[in-house]
């Protein structure tokens, strides 16, 4: 399948809209389900859901959102889950992306690399690693992470779009304007 810029843009828009739809849907469900509960009760319920289904990224996002007191205490919670579920990459992905948001690139890279090693299909892990590489290690390393992500997810429109947008031709086009 030949990817054109228009196809990639269309794919990216559908990924963004789809992600937004699921985020809003999940946020609404979580809000409705946990409304009226104390913070401790919400965290206990979310923790129970993660223990039942540690691969659900949306529940990890909700847990991290409700935890909200900083990365250090949260990291220990995730270390405990990593011990309990050593082969689940979504756990490392969740804490890695949290460190990325906190601009702690060293820890983010550490956890994200484990996540994509455990599950190479974690597109957001490859994209997050490429973002860190762009900031800290340069363009070549950024492209290297994206290539690995494309090789693991040849049909995923999000990783294909990111690769296209960051390729040499697109980078030159983007910075010319």
- For residue 103, is it within any domain? yes
100: nearest Cα among 136, 138, 76, 128: 128
pLDDT of residue 16: 57
Total-model pTM: 0.75
Q: Quickly tell me which residue has 């804490």 as its tokens.
A: 95
The single residue listed with the structure tokens 């190479």 is: 120
Domains identified in the chain, total number:
1
Helix locations, 35-88, DSSP H = 39-52, 57-67, 71-84
Q: What is the CATH number of the domain that holds 63?
A: 1.25.40.10
In a domain, 116, yes or no: yes
Q: Which residue has the tokens 């389900």?
A: 33
Mean pLDDT of 16-29: 53
Q: How far apart are CA 154 and CA 152, in angstroms?
A: 6
Residue 175 lies in a domain: no
Determine contact, residues 125/145, Cβ cutoff 8 Å.
Answer: no
Q: Which pLDDT does position 103 carry in this prediction?
A: 92
Residue 1 lies in a domain: no
Give the tens place of pLDDT for each residue, 83-141: 999 999 999 999 999 999 989 999 999 999 999 999 999 999 999 999 999 999 888 89
């Amino acid at each position: 399948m030949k990817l054109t810029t228009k196809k990639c843009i269309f794919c990216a828009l559908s990924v963004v809209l789809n992600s937004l739809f699921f985020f809003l849907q999940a946020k609404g469900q979580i809000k409705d389900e946990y409304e009226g509960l104390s913070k401790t009760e919400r965290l206990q319920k979310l923790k129970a859901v993660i223990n039942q289904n540690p691969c659900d990224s949306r529940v990890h996002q909700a847990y991290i959102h409700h935890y909200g007191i900083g990365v250090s205490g949260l990291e220990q919670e995730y270390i405990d889950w990593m011990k309990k579920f050593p082969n689940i990459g979504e756990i490392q992905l969740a804490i890695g992306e949290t460190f990325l948001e906190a601009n702690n690139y060293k820890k983010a890279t550490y956890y994200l690399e484990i996540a994509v090693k455990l599950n190479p299909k974690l597109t957001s892990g490859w994209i997050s690693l490429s973002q860190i590489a762009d900031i800290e290690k340069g363009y070549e390393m950024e492209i290297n992470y994206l290539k690995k992500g494309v090789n693991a997810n040849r049909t995923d429109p999000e990783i294909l779009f990111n690769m296209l947008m960051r390729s040499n031709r697109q980078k030159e086009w983007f910075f010319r304007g």
